Structure 1
């Protein structure tokens, strides 16, 4: 009699262990591991310059002037995306470009200069500053707010940089029948700008 109860107890113990192991494996299989995040993801200030923060209605403070963002242009070339924000409040024709390339936040302040009689080239000297071509290409753009360009379409760009300096020279075309429009710019740091987010609605 005692041996019967002993055998039954052993069988029940084995069943309990098997059930526990199966339950644990099933639970682990159902839990998809969460991908690890970069702990310094927003240490460069990129959280303040995303498209959910900047856009029509946002305020950008720079050099003691508060600029109102009137419009935004999203530009895409393959898997690469960057943004331009047209601003009002300073000299006129100013805009901020924001791109995040290989984990690096890049900000540039631009002034549209349609008065310059220059065309894209490998090297140019403008107002005493020498620039060399960095890159060029074509892509698709999408706009919102007041931008002066269509809601979407094809664009071309030609970027140049000052040799040994911080200056930038860029050309953009947003329609096939227009000439490349030049802009002069320079790189800025996130700490130089104060951003008040655009309204949600």
Structure 2
């Protein structure tokens, strides 16, 4: 039997090995391409945007940009005024919703949380002198004074300054009137209020809890 050329047989083996390696690399590249393309085409899973927010809000951390729901209506906090009367601090927040604007006062009175919603009353011509009659109810002064304030966002006041106030209430405390003057020479702003409980409001803070 005739034998082939030994040199030709030896040279064919390296060539075969190279082809096998190239084929393996091509297969790996193809698989990687398919996997990466599949990942890119798959939409990202949706996540809960409120997952990092607490279910129980902190009334003292309400601020500009927060969403407050009251009586089924959402309001945006447009501005916040922080008031200081000789170390006693309270805040007033301007809420803007589909039914108009109102103010929310948040304060601690001897350790008890007090929150009140206020609506401006135009054209009453009332001033805080003696008893005040509004909506056929007699209101008597319960406190008055002056305070320093700073404002952020939209409030309609100066960025800072001093203000005067006088608070009135009916005998059963169901009727509330607030008189406020934010600058010298300014007429009194009159608002009527209603006390609200913490559970009546739902608050979504504009940023994650600190």
- CA distance in 2 between counterparts of 1:92 and 1:178 reads 24
Aligned partner of 1:101 in structure 2 is 109
CA deviation string 1:25-55 (max 9, x = no partner): xxxxxxxxxxxxxxxxxxxx7x6211xx311
Aligned-pair distance for 1:90? 4.1
Note if contact 1:68-1:87 (Cα within 8 Å) is conserved in structure 2: yes
Greater C-alpha radius of gyration: 2
Aligned-pair distance for 1:56? 1.0
Aligned partner of 1:158 in structure 2 is 166
Unaligned runs of 5+ in 1: 1-44
Aligned-pair distance for 1:199? 3.1
- CA distance in 1 between counterparts of 2:63 and 2:200 reads 19
Map 1:24-173; keep pairs closer than 5 Å.
48-50=58-60, 53-173=61-181
Calculate the TM-score normalised by the size of structure 1. 0.72
- CA distance in 2 between counterparts of 1:89 and 1:55 reads 16
Aligned-pair distance for 1:106? 0.3
Deviant stretches of 4+, over 3 Å: none
Aligned partner of 1:192 in structure 2 is 200
- CA distance in 2 between counterparts of 1:98 and 1:72 reads 11
Note if contact 1:92-1:111 (Cα within 8 Å) is conserved in structure 2: no
- CA distance in 2 between counterparts of 1:157 and 1:100 reads 17
Number of residues of Structure 1 aligned to a counterpart in Structure 2? 153
